[in-house]
């Protein structure tokens, strides 16, 4: 009985819900004769998506945006991670550097993006750097918090058997920080998609954000929506990759059922 109802909730109900939402949308567009440049019906979006998937122009732009996301994420995450270690390990570094980091974080990155484009040009590098500035902070904050999160009794246990500071760091603090670092990675990878698109909006010659602007200018609403669908799929896929790696790396958390809060 319980199994049947969970199957209903697991597969049948979501499918029903999707049919209701998209069917209702489609019907509403036809029924109220909504102009195509205001709201395209789902069927038009699907057609636009199929057309895009077959075009080499789309492939090229997709590849560029993916590269911006992944490279920017890697750069920002690595920077946040390294600076996080430095701040967590050195009180001096914390006092010297942290105020600037917080001040920088309060700036909306969208407002900084034009400056970065002027400095680094209209090519890929400015988008990668904008993405990196966005991916940086979640890693920094979570690394610092994680490296301080090791339970006192685990540290005491190691100290009691004559462990040095470095051994305590390596054997406990680092491992205890991993769940926090993964939360940071998860937040950063999703924000990286936004970073790359913001960068392309400010000034670009290629990429999905650039394509989106073009289609928008041409009032190609179905095409615009198709790209939005692709962007959200990219986010979902990258998030899923981080989650899969996380489950493998911090296996002890998932089994105990107290996994950290995550996106």
Partner 1 sequence: MPQDGAFLRIHQVAKTYTARDGSSIQALRAIDLDIGEGEFVTLLGPSGCGKSTLLKILAGLLPRSAGEVTVQGRSLAGPSRALGVVFQAPVLLPWLTILENVLVPAKVQRIDPPLAAARARELLAMTELTGFENRYPFELSGGMQQRVGICRALVHDPAILLMDEPFGALDAMTRETMNEELQRIWQERRKTVLLVTHSIPEAIYLADRVVVMAPRPGHIVEVLPVDLPRPRTLEMQNTPEFGRYVSHLRGHFRAGGMLTA
Q: Residues interacting with partner 1, by CB under 8 A?
A: 153-154, 156-163, 167, 171-172, 175, 250-253, 255-256
To the nearest whole angstrom, how small is the minimum distance from the Cβ of residue 179 to partner 1? 10
The residue among 183 and 221 lying less far from partner 1, judged by its C-beta, is 183
User: Which of 179, 227, 183, 236 is closest to 62 using CA atoms?
Assistant: 227
The residue among 124 and 172 lying less far from partner 1, judged by its C-beta, is 172
To the nearest whole angstrom, how small is the minimum distance from the Cβ of residue 29 to partner 1? 53
The residue among 47 and 171 lying less far from partner 1, judged by its C-beta, is 171
In a 13 Å sphere around the CA of 16, the CA atoms on its Cβ side amount to 7
For the chain, what's the residue count? 263
CA 153 → CA 88, 159, 173, 234, distances in Å? 19, 10, 12, 42
To the nearest whole angstrom, how small is the minimum distance from the Cβ of residue 260 to partner 1? 13
CA distance 69 to 131: 7
The residue among 86 and 171 lying less far from partner 1, judged by its C-beta, is 171
Burial of 68 (C-beta count, 10 Å sphere; 0-12/13-18/19+)? buried
To the nearest whole angstrom, how small is the minimum distance from the Cβ of residue 247 to partner 1? 14
**Which run of H or of E encompasses 47?**
helix 42-53
To the nearest whole angstrom, how small is the minimum distance from the Cβ of residue 221 to partner 1? 51
Q: Under 8 Å CB-to-CB from 148, ≥6 apart: which residues?
A: 88
The residue among 111 and 153 lying less far from partner 1, judged by its C-beta, is 153
């Amino acid at each position: 009985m319980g199994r049947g109802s969970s199957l209903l909730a697991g597969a049948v109900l979501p499918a029903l819900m999707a049919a209701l939402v998209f069917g209702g949308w489609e019907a509403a567009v036809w029924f109220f004769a909504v102009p195509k440049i205001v709201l395209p019906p789902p069927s038009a979006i699907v057609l636009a998506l199929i057309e895009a998937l077959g075009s080499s122009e789309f492939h090229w732009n997709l590849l560029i945006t993916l590269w911006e996301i992944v490279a920017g994420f890697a750069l920002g995450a690595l920077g946040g991670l390294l600076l996080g270690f430095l701040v967590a390990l050195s009180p001096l570094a914390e006092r010297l550097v942290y105020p600037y980091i917080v001040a920088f974080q309060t700036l909306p990155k969208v407002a900084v993006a034009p400056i970065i484009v002027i400095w680094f040009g209209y090519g890929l590098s400015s988008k990668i750097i904008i993405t990196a500035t966005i991916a940086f902070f979640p890693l920094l904050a979570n690394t610092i918090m994680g490296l301080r999160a090791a339970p006192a009794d685990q540290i005491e246990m190691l100290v009691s058997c004559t462990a040095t500071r470095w051994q305590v760091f390596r054997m406990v603090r680092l491992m205890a920080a991993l769940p926090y670092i993964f939360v940071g990675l998860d937040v950063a990878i999703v924000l990286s998609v936004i970073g790359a698109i913001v960068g392309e909006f400010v000034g670009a010659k290629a990429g999905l954000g650039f394509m989106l602007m073009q289609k928008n200018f041409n009032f190609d609403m179905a095409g615009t929506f198709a790209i939005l669908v692709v962007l959200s799929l990219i986010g979902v896929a990258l998030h899923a990759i981080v989650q899969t790696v996380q489950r493998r790396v911090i296996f002890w958390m998932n089994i105990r059922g107290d996994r950290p809060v995550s996106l």
